[in-house]
Chain A
Amino acid sequence: MPDIRTVLIANRGEIALRIVRACKLLGLRTVGVYSEADAGLAHLRLVDHAICIGPAAATHSYLDGERILRAATLTGADAIHPGYGFLSENPDFAKAVERAGLILIGPASSVMRLMGDKISARRAMKANGVPCLPGSDAALPLDPDEIRTICDAIGYPLIVKAAGGGGGRGMRVVMKAEELLDAVESARKESGLAFGNADVYVERFLREPRHVEIQILADAHGNAVWLGARDCSVQRRHQKLIEEAPPPGIPEYRISDLGLACADAAARIGYTGAGTFEFLYEDGNFNFIEMNTRLQVEHPVTEMTSGVDIVREQIMIATGAPLSFTQADVRTNGHALECRINAEDPENFAPAPGTIKKWRAPGGPGVRVDTHIYDGYAIPPHYDSLIAKLIVHGSDRNDAIRRMSTALEELQIDGVPTTASRQVRLLNDPDFRAGIFTVHTLDRRRTGEQS
């Protein structure tokens, strides 16, 4: 069994603080790394050793695997928690960690590589009984006639996607056959630049899907469980704004069947740690889109409904410990919501870094705030604009919405604009209340407002 004594947290912001808390719970030493722009991060006061790894630019600090590994060696860390973003889903980094004789708190690099390539992930999921959209089972060939044959068989509209990436880059929606070849060409170019991999594939395009995802945990002994489902349909430009669990209006047995299929697939591919299977849900069907082989920003939503400390379990799994519970022990209790509070203009979502002059956290039963901000904290312009996650738990969806509305009202952040006022409005939106928000709703409304 691998022995973990010191965990290096290769991340920043609220998630770094979240990981420090879990490590302390387990009695582990912690190392915090930071860039020159980040000396004021809240978690650095709590770690056993804080070390500056490089300049503000993430490519020379949080995205520089060599520097992270160097920091781990210098500080005697034996495990690295990558958090989310940055290097968390980089199989080359995971491999380098393994080669250095250290433990990455996450899946093996080979599994990360399998699921990181969207084509191989799709193939693996299909082979393991996870529902997928009709689409190409390999990278599109170069020959235009072959591309047309494949795509005509799938049917239009369809979406061209990058094999090596996500987040909307390298994606093109093709409404009719005449647009196909241009879309494939430009998607290839963008994918090559963004991910260093120009392979693209196609899937049937869904017009009004919801985003539903399944949280799983799997240990190194072949045990895997699913902890719950989340609905993350309230998004703008592929960035989530509100997440909730369980997804409203979907029968429990459908979610349960899907969850079991995901846990089973995770065990079969030799997955270890925390992971998320993402689906598009439309017309009563779930369609696998990708797996996130890391902790998700929105993991607290599932922690609130399941009572499981996902970060703690992740670390325990990395030590080689078997899961301390079985699927039969897992329950979904009540309803949870999360609002991502970003330092952004609430209308156009433009990032708005600045200094927090004063802030007050909401409280009361069922309210949780995960944040790294404090009075006087200067938000650097170099990174993501997420400054806090406000999470609530209620007896049912209406109760959770009421608690969130009160918490947002109570939340005070002076010095920078935030998305909170927009989220107050969203909670009262009839479509949100009805649980029919799709991943396109917000963007479509914005486009409508502008046109």
Chain B
Amino acid sequence: MRQQKDETEDPIAGDFLESLVAAMRRHGAGVFEFENEDTFLSVVLEAESPDIPLDTSPDTGNAHPEAEFDVFVKSPELGLFASAGKSIGDSVMRNDVVGFVCVGPLRLAIRAPTDGLITEELVRDGTPIGYQEAVFRIRPVITS
């Protein structure tokens, strides 16, 4: 966690920050900024782990608003990328096949590491992809 704040020390700042961070994590917010005439406070949360989605409300299933929590779908092999018809805006479930990597006669599935929404296609159909190269960006969706 990075934080920038003014020089004024407040005895409740520690508790306040703890509550603020918890609230941000609960709501999936990556950045919080506050400004008035003589104060500027900015709190930026670093993702704890790219593969671990943040908590979210139990019933909404909303996508996280911050791209820094996105996860990447990576190719398990060096080969030629073949589309499975997935594109931006498609929702995927963990382990769904989102594409293929062709290695000679083999066609290996590329699977989503988490539930989520595809926010970016990083490789075009029929282009070479490297070992562990990212092919899609996914914004995790939390459901419970």
Q: Which residues of A contact B (CB under 8 A)?
A: 36, 49-55, 67, 70-71, 74-75
Contact = CB atoms under 8 A, between A and B. Distances in A.
B89 interface: no
B133 A52 contact: yes
B103 interface: yes
A52 B129 CA distance: 8
Interface string B60-85: 00000000000000000011100000
Contacts of A71: 78, 128
B62 to A, nearest CB: 33
A74 B104 CA distance: 10
Interface in B67-121: 78-80, 103-104
A53 B130 contact: yes
B32 interface: no
B132 A52 contact: yes
Interface in B129-143: 129-133
A36 B133 CA distance: 10
B78 A53 contact: yes
A55 B128 CA distance: 17
Contacts of B131: 36, 52-55
Contact of B128 (A36, A54, A75): A75
Going nearest first, the 7 A-B pairs with the smallest beta carbon separation are A52-B130, A74-B128, A51-B130, A52-B131, A54-B131, A53-B78, A70-B78
A74 B80 contact: yes
A52 B78 contact: yes
B106 to A, nearest CB: 11
Contacts of B80: 74
Contacts of B133: 51-52
A52 B135 CA distance: 13
A426 B103 CA distance: 51
A55 B129 CA distance: 14
A138 B78 CA distance: 43
B128 A51 contact: yes
Contacts of B128: 49, 51, 71, 74-75
A51 B130 CA distance: 5
B118 to A, nearest CB: 22
Contacts of B129: 51
Interface of B: 78-80, 103-104, 128-133
Contacts of A52: 78, 130-133
Contacts of A74: 78-80, 128
A36 B131 CA distance: 8
Given A36-B132, A67-B78, A70-B104, 12 more contacts: A36-B131, A49-B128, A51-B130, A52-B78, A52-B130, A52-B131, A53-B130, A53-B131, A70-B79, A70-B103, A74-B78, A75-B128
Q: Taking each of B78, B79, B104, which has the highest tally of chain A beta carbons within 10 Å of its own beta carbon? A: B78
A74 B128 CA distance: 6
A106 to B, nearest CB: 23
A51 B128 CA distance: 8
A310 to B, nearest CB: 30
Chain B CB count within 10 A is highest, among A55, A70, A75, for: A70
A431 to B, nearest CB: 48
A49 B104 CA distance: 20
Contacts of B130: 50-53
13 contacts: A36-B131, A50-B130, A51-B128, A51-B133, A52-B78, A52-B130, A52-B133, A53-B131, A54-B131, A55-B131, A67-B78, A74-B79, A75-B128
Contacts of A54: 78, 131
Contacts of A36: 131-132
* Residue from the set B103, B104, B128, B130 with the largest chain A CB neighbour count within 10 Å: B130
Contact of A51 (B78, B103, B104): B78
Nearest to B104: A70
B101 to A, nearest CB: 11
Contacts of B132: 36, 52
Nearest to A76: B128
B125 to A, nearest CB: 14
A75 B80 CA distance: 10
Contacts of A67: 78
A80 to B, nearest CB: 15
A101 B129 CA distance: 22
Contacts of A49: 128
A67 B79 CA distance: 9
B110 to A, nearest CB: 15
Nearest to A34: B130
Contacts of A50: 130
A36 B80 CA distance: 18
Contacts of A51: 78, 128-130, 133
Contacts of A70: 78-79, 103-104
Nearest to B133: A52
Q: Most B CB atoms within 10 A — which of A49, A52, A53?
A: A52
Nearest to B127: A74
A62 to B, nearest CB: 12
